[in-house]
Every structure is written in C-alpha cells, then in structure tokens.
C-alpha cells in the first residue's frame, strides 16, 4: 500500500522495536517494559498498550517462546488482531448508500470527501455531494471545487442555512436521479459544542424519514497528526452518531500513526480509509495486515 512508501512512522517504530529486541539473549520483564514504552510513545494509548503487552506476555508463556526474535512475530500478530475488524472493515456495498462525513474543522474532511467521490466514480458509481456544512465560511465553495474536479453533482444552500434542509434536498435529488452514493459534508466545529451534536442527530432523523431505503455509513474523519486528541474526538462524536468507521487523514510520514491502533481497539471502530497525501488518488482502503506489516517488515 502507498502509505508504506511514506516511511516516517513505520521506519521509526520498526527501528525502535528492533532496538529493544536485537541482541537480547533472553526474554525478561525488562523486554516487555521497554516494548510498552515504545508503543505508548508512538501514540498507542495506555489502555491499548497494556492490553497488547499483557496478551503478548501470556502468549510467550503459553507457547513456550524463548527466542526474543519470536516475540516480534507475536507482537505483530497481536497488533493486527487489534486493528482488524473483519467484515466491518469494508464499506457497505448495498446501494443507494449515504455516507455521512463528520469531524472537526481542519481534519481533512472536505479533501477526504473529494477523494472518496473520485474513488466511487472510478468504480462506476454515480455520486452526489451534499454541502451540509453551512456554518463554516466557504465550506460549500471548497466542496464545489472538489465536485467540479471529480465531475459529480452537488446540492448546496447559502451560508448559514439549515444543514438538515440541505440534506433533505440532497436526499430528494439522490432519489430522483437514481444516485448510487450520496456523500454528505457536515459542520465541523469543536466536538464539545452540544448544538453541533444535536444537529448531527437531527440530520440522521431526516435521513431515516426521507431516505429509509438507503444503506448508511457514518465515517469519522481524524487527523493522524493530532495524536491523543483524536481519542476525545472519537468519544464525543461517537456519543452523537452511530459511527461505522474512521478515515484517518494526513498519514504522510509526519504522523506517528499509532492512533489507528488505539481508535480501532478502544472504540471497536474499523479504520476504513487512510489519507496519505494531497493528490486525488491519495486515499486508500485500509488493510490491517499491510498497515501493521509496514511497521515490522524490513
């Protein structure tokens, strides 16, 4: 996958894990302590790290592992299991499909919508965008630029309009045009603003009433560079909407990337996409084995 070519996070974490294990004659508690420190300082949360290390310690004991190099193999297996959500890892393939895109401003939401629209269009699907972030100045204009670039339609109202009204019109248009995928932008003010969360709930009610035949995905857009702040965003937005997955943006070599493991494990949320650059094709379907393999493979 392309994000493995970005190095950064993968190279640093792989090297640090290698440093802990290399040249060690035996497996001892110090080894587990050092691995724990490496994971925590790579943006993997405390709760997830402790779970990973406890599982590792148990498997080393129960499988009679005595070679430090084998510890690395087991750690890789455990981390893959932490991020792999099985069938939930894939986006719904039932159409029509509505994809609600939520997340704070500056997280890469608008860009991800454009890239996702391009991805579906390449698959031969008809796509419509809904510019329901009516609170941020120029949000609709920015989304329109992406719609024009990709070659898909867009439904928008004026700045300050009711987001649910935009979504209502978008749902009606999607039904009338027989659209396969409706991708809806939403307001991205700070996650602790209660009125924003109320608005998201209202929009979901509108969809349930006006477009009940459509399948639904609700993706939380998280900036990988924000580290542990992304955890609070996942909690707050998860309380307001039934999240079906995460798109992790800006995983371009500057981010530690361990936040993907934390979000997947602590919130039981599949990471469905990763953004690895600014180009229109720089959105990739998340592959748990390739992602974790990028940490461990030479």
Whole-angstrom distance, CA of residue 181 vs CA of residue 186: 16
- Please count the other Cβ atoms lying within 10 Å of the Cβ belonging to residue 288: 21
Whole-angstrom distance, CA of residue 219 vs CA of residue 223: 13
The two structure tokens encoding residue 24: 């060690």
DSSP-derived letter for residue 21 is H
Q: Quick one: the chain helix, strand, coil %, rounded to 5?
A: 55, 15, 35
The two structure tokens encoding residue 178: 């027989």
> Which residue reads 């894939």 in tokens?
90
| Residues contributing to the annotated binding site | 103-110, 185-189, 249-252
Question: How far from chain centre, in Å, is Cα 187?
Answer: 18
| Residues contributing to the annotated binding site for GTP | 103-110, 185-189, 249-252
């Amino acid at each position: 996958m392309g994000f493995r070519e970005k190095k950064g996070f993968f190279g640093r974490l792989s090297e640090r894990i290698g440093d802990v294990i290399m040249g060690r004659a035996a497996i001892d508690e110090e080894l587990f302590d050092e691995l724990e420190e490496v994971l925590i300082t790579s943006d993997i949360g405390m709760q997830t790290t402790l779970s990973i290390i406890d599982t590792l310690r148990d498997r080393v004991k129960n499988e009679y592992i005595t070679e430090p190099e084998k510890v690395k193999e087991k750690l890789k297996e455990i981390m893959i299991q932490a991020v792999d959500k099985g069938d939930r890892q894939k986006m719904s393939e039932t159409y029509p499909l509505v994809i609600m895109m939520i997340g704070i401003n500056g997280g890469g939401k608008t860009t991800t919508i454009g890239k996702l629209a391009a991805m579906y269009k390449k698959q031969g699907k008809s796509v419509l965008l809904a510019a329901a972030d009516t609170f941020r100045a120029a949000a609709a204009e920015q989304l329109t630029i992406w719609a024009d670039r990709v070659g898909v339609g867009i439904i928008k109202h004026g700045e300050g309009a009711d987001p649910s009204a935009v979504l209502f019109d978008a749902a009606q248009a999607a039904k009338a045009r027989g659209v396969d995928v409706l991708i809806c932008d939403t307001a991205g003010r700070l996650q602790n603003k209660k009125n924003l969360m109320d608005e998201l709930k209202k929009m979901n009610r509108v969809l349930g009433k006006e477009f009940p035949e459509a399948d639904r995905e609700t993706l939380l857009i998280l900036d990988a560079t924000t580290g542990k702040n992304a955890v609070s965003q996942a909690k707050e937005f998860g309380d307001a909407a039934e999240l079906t997955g995460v798109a992790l943006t800006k995983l371009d070599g500057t981010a530690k990337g361990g936040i993907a493991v934390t979000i997947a494990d602590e919130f039981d949320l599949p990471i469905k996409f990763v953004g690895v650059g600014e180009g229109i094709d720089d959105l990739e379907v998340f592959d748990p084995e390739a992602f974790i393999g990028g940490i461990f493979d030479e």
